[in-house]
Amino acid sequence: MRGVVVAGTASGVGKTVTTLAVCRALEREGYEVQPAKAGPDFIDPSHHAAVVGKPSRSLDPWLEGDDGMRRTYARGEGDICVVEGMMGLYDGDTSTARVAALLDLPVVLVADARAGMQSVAATAYGFRAYADRMGIDADVAGVIASRAHGGRHAEGIRDALPEELPYLGRIPPSGDLEIPERHLGLHLGDEAPLSDEALDAAADGIRADALAEVAREPGWDTEEFEVGVRAEAAQATDSDGPTVAVARDEAFCFVYPSTLDRLESLGAVSYVSPVGGDDLPDCDGVYLPGGYPERFAAELASSPTLSALADRAADGLPVFGECGGLMALAESLTTTDGDTHEMAGILPADVTMRERYQALDHVELRATDGTLTADAGETLRGHEFHYSSADPATDARFAFDVERGTGIDGREGLTEYRTLGTYAHVHPESGAFDRFVSRLTD
């Protein structure tokens, strides 16, 4: 599958809208598009999925390792994979430039053109040259001008670009192309989708065929990874392993598609909506992903799912909660309005929402004892981004030491019975979900 990385000169230049416009433009030309996102984000991929109609793959070498990230890329299906970058092209220790280099994909640079023409070309040229200075094999192979008017403005940018940096189109300045924000980032794709009219207008400015020519097949052996992915998919069709109940609704919406793929290959998956008032199905274990439990705290407080979880957890049912899942498994959740709601009461901690984020980083955890997702002494890599703080009981037990990141006062993995709650999100390439499923039959 050919691919291209849509990267920005900085955060806030319009990468998400540009990515969506590129996807729409390519689809209109008859290409089957596979969306993807560099980094650990859950929100931008929800916008990709809303527009393209298929899950967007998360590509992060810290979470997945280099080969794991390539396996995730190989899971995609289509003619062209469009990867949205994170922050500016070279920002961060797991930068978009590094992702593009590891995947051997060309970069299309999104430059904010609100107040420039020739200077936009100079900026793009500098970004192309800076790869050598950084020692990263990042191939900046084209430019899209964000918030650029047509006519003389667009022509000035196009004419100023050198031959090796083709002009691949523009995104017009329009209030209809703004996506609302809340804490943790943009609204989700199914909450605040761009109108078809606005997206079509943006796609009109993309030179889809020229962009498709820039996209290329990776130089590494994709077939080697695709064979493993196909074998896993075949296993999912006839697996008779344990059943995992997975919470999926507006409160528990941050889950990597690869996680669901992996769980389905290892056993059976039964989806449950705590917000919708579902009963807990028959299962051998439960996974509560992250999301926005604070937005639905009242519904969760009265949910039969949480009350059943409390009973089943006390009887030894393995339960794994990440971030929002940790919050739902706690004693209580207090919103920024000061309203306190009882949660499942399994983990000995009270959680309070804050006005400012409490942690944002890639993390590394070392298991102090064997737990649901790691053996004693093993390390797990993950990501944390949350606006809540947890106040654990003085006798609370933790499964991990934090070697990088914040966790809960320098520790991580609240544990009680066979329940584990972490602020960290992990990817299945870490092996955490394989270990979790293996524990269900212990």
Residues 53-88 pLDDT 10s: 999 999 999 999 999 999 999 999 999 999 999 999
Task: Count up the domains in the chain and report the number.
Answer: 2
On whether residue 180 sits in a domain, the answer given is yes
Q: Which CATH number fits the domain that encloses residue 269?
A: 3.40.50.880
Q: In terms of domains, do 135 and 281 share one?
A: no
- For residue range 144-153, list pLDDT tens digits in order: 999 999 899 9
In this prediction, residues 138-142 reach a mean pLDDT of 96
Q: Outline where 135-169 has alpha helix (H).
A: 152-160
On whether residue 33 sits in a domain, the answer given is yes
Cβ distance 439 to 372 under 8 Å?
yes
Q: In terms of domains, do 212 and 280 share one?
A: no
Q: For residue 315, how far is the Cα from the chain centroid?
A: 33
| pLDDT score for 116 | 85
| pLDDT score for 184 | 52
> Would you state the structure tokens that stand for residue 170, as one six-digit string?
């523009």
On whether residue 229 sits in a domain, the answer given is no
* pTM confidence score: 0.93
Calculate the alpha carbon distances from 245 to 28, 274, 309, 318 in Å: 38, 11, 11, 11
| pLDDT score for 22 | 98
Q: In terms of domains, do 181 and 271 share one?
A: no
Cβ distance 408 to 424 under 8 Å?
no
Q: In terms of domains, do 365 and 433 share one?
A: yes
Listed in order, strand segments (DSSP E) in 180-219 are: 181-182, 185-186
Least confident of 188-202, 236-250, 256-270: 188-202
Q: For residue 45, how far is the Cα from the chain centroid?
A: 6
Of the pLDDT bands very low, low, confident and very high (cuts 50, 70, 90), residue 237 is low
405: left (phi over 0), alpha (psi -120 to 50) or beta: left
Cβ distance 88 to 10 under 8 Å?
yes
CB contact set of 113 (below 8 Å; sequence gap of 6+) = 120, 145, 146, 147, 148, 153, 157, 170
Q: Is the pLDDT score of 235 beyond 80?
A: no
Q: Which CATH number fits the domain that encloses residue 28?
A: 3.40.50.300
Q: In terms of domains, do 294 and 191 share one?
A: no
Q: Is the pLDDT score of 197 beyond 50?
A: yes
- Closest alpha carbon to 179 in 190, 167, 166, 165: 190
On whether residue 338 sits in a domain, the answer given is yes
| pLDDT score for 177 | 82
Of the pLDDT bands very low, low, confident and very high (cuts 50, 70, 90), residue 234 is low
Identity at 30, one-letter amino acid code: G
| pLDDT score for 189 | 47
Q: In terms of domains, do 304 and 156 share one?
A: no
Assess whether 253 carries a catalytic annotation: no
| pLDDT score for 239 | 61
| pLDDT score for 232 | 63
Q: In terms of domains, do 138 and 278 share one?
A: no
Residue with tokens 């031959």: 163
Q: In terms of domains, do 305 and 186 share one?
A: no
Q: Is the pLDDT score of 238 beyond 60?
A: no
Cβ distance 374 to 380 under 8 Å?
yes
Q: In terms of domains, do 110 and 258 share one?
A: no
Please tell me the distance from the alpha carbon of residue 363 to that of residue 373, in angstroms, as a whole number: 15
In this prediction, residues 358-387 reach a mean pLDDT of 96
DSSP, res 429? G
What do you get for the CA distance between the two ends of the chain, in Å? 40
- For residue range 163-192, list pLDDT tens digits in order: 999 999 999 998 778 776 545 554 454 555
CB contact set of 216 (below 8 Å; sequence gap of 6+) = 2, 3, 4, 105, 106
Count of alpha carbons within 13 Å of 110, Cβ hemisphere only?
A: 31
Q: Is the pLDDT score of 318 beyond 90?
A: yes
Q: Is the pLDDT score of 393 beyond 60?
A: yes
On whether residue 232 sits in a domain, the answer given is no
Pick the more confident residue, 36 or 43: 36
On whether residue 228 sits in a domain, the answer given is no
**Cα pseudo-dihedral 25, 109, 184, 383, rounded to 10:** 110
Q: In terms of domains, do 209 and 255 share one?
A: no
On whether residue 233 sits in a domain, the answer given is no
Query: Domain span at residue 294?
Result: 239-439
In this prediction, residues 230-249 reach a mean pLDDT of 77
| pLDDT score for 283 | 97
Q: In terms of domains, do 177 and 256 share one?
A: no
Q: In terms of domains, do 199 and 257 share one?
A: no
- For residue range 75-134, list pLDDT tens digits in order: 999 999 999 999 999 999 899 999 999 999 999 999 999 878 899 999 999 999 999 998
| pLDDT score for 179 | 74
On whether residue 86 sits in a domain, the answer given is yes
The last residue of one of the domains, among 195, 223, 251, is 223
- Selected catalytic residue, list 81, 253, 283, 323: 323
Residue with tokens 């037990």: 397
Please tell me the distance from the alpha carbon of residue 353 to that of residue 337, in angstroms, as a whole number: 9
Mean pLDDT over all residues of the chain? 93
Sheet holding 57-59, edge to edge: 57-59, 33-38, 80-88, 2-8, 107-112, 140-146, 167-171
The last residue of one of the domains, among 193, 223, 253, is 223
